[in-house]
A and B are shown apart, each in its own frame.
Chain A
Amino acid sequence: EVMPTLDMTLFDWTDYEDMKPVDA
């Protein structure tokens, strides 16, 4: 059973703007 890759659109960057990758 292969787990799906992480979906970048699901993450909430509200408090982590400085961590947000450019392409996210």
Chain B
Amino acid sequence: PDPCYDENGNPRRCIPDFVNSAFGKEVRTSSTCGKTPGRYCLVTEKGDERNRNCHTCDASNPKKYHPPAYLTDLNNPHNLTCWQSENYIQYPQNVTITLSLGKKFEVTYVSLQFCSPRPESMAIFKSMDYGKSWVPFQYYSAQCRKMYTKPSKATITKQNEQEAICTDSHTDMHPLSGGLIAFSTLDGRPSAHDFDNSPVLQDWVTATDIKVTFSRLHTFGDENEDDSEQARDSYFYAVSDLQVGGRCKCNGHASRCVKDRDGNLVCECKHNTSGPECDRCKPFHYDRPWQRATAREANECVACNCNLHARRCRFNMELYKLSGRKSGGVCLNCRHNTAGRHCHYCKEGYYRDLSKTISHRKACKACDCHPVGAAGKTCNQTTGQCPCKDGVTGITCNRCAKGYQQSRSPIAPCIKIP
């Protein structure tokens, strides 16, 4: 059964499955340890006692490297794999990780599980144009005002639902490992309960790429002391699992996304829609404007009615409104000698052959009015009767009427018999 149609075959809203769209995808990072083998140290605490265990990060050694792929590989809590940045990239320098989702997704949450202490400050951004421009999604900082010129935990109103807020939650240094940051895109947004009817929030949760910028490291404050080298080798960003929970964006017109011929992820559009996000009507289905499907209304696209005489049509808003928002399609290039917005009557010089349906290829026949006996070439649409000159008769005006005889004049071909 197709989720996009009910058991009677009627269209209904359908949405792809909820997935972790980051899983298995490549993540670009601005810094990864081990390009040249180097030391890093892990700090553990027991009461007031602090210990450092140092290791080597070496990109050329599978047992010692921490590549970006570990961000989105299978997250095995019993065998954590962690991506790790180089050491001590401290504010104002930052480390950025960027994930391309491959197409538009409606993001529900972004979560990061850390192997290091969580950052003192970090920001999550999204792009809607495949990385051309970026929009802030959320800030985390113990110093919101100072780091991001944002108040901490500002209230979100209907007027600023598309604004990123800054919060100081999840910014403490502990736990030193395993800390989680999870950002829910709709949390605290007033229109979240009515998401279906909120284009603002639908736009807000839509993303093609996610970028996380780690802006400031937490430290114990020993990075500038005399033997600071070991201390600085303990400060880096390390994440074991980056998740981006959401659904492939298909505007309610597809139940799944597939790879197209070029390997791009696209929606498997139903309801006569097309485009990577099912965001327009497919050709020839312009009888009403495209709309996103809702829980109550599938809003499928409807084919133009051209009685099989045209392959193309266009939408006309005026006609649509005049029709009470029923039909706005206008057929283009009616063939088989038909005309009208639905190719539903015969064009000038032709008349209906009522023995055939209007959708028949030969539904319109040429008038065939006599070149001399008829006063014009256009005949009656339904009877085929041509306009005859005085004294002339016949459906094509090719004979003199009773009481008349043919003359030599093409102007008055039939004259009364004296």
A residues engaging B (CB < 8 A)? 1-8, 10-13, 16, 19-21, 24
Contacts and interface: CB of A to CB of B under 8 A. Distances in A.
A3 B400 contact: yes
Contacts of B119: none
Label chain A's interface by main secondary structure.
loop
Nearest to A8: B372
A4 B392 CA distance: 11
Interface string B391-413: 01110001111101010111101
A19 to B, nearest CB: 6
Given A8-B372, A21-B371, A3 B408 contact: no
Nearest to A20: B410
Counting contact residues on chain B (CB < 8 A from A), the size range is 20 to 34
A10 B393 CA distance: 18
B246 interface: no
B370 interface: yes
Interface of B: 370-373, 392-394, 398-402, 404, 406, 408-411, 413-414
A19 B409 CA distance: 11
A3 to B, nearest CB: 4
Contact of B398 (A6, A10, A12, A19): A6
A12 B409 contact: yes
A2 B400 CA distance: 10
Nearest to B398: A5
Contacts of A11: 372, 408-410, 413
A5 B411 CA distance: 16
Nearest to B404: A3
A11 B371 CA distance: 12
B399 A6 contact: yes
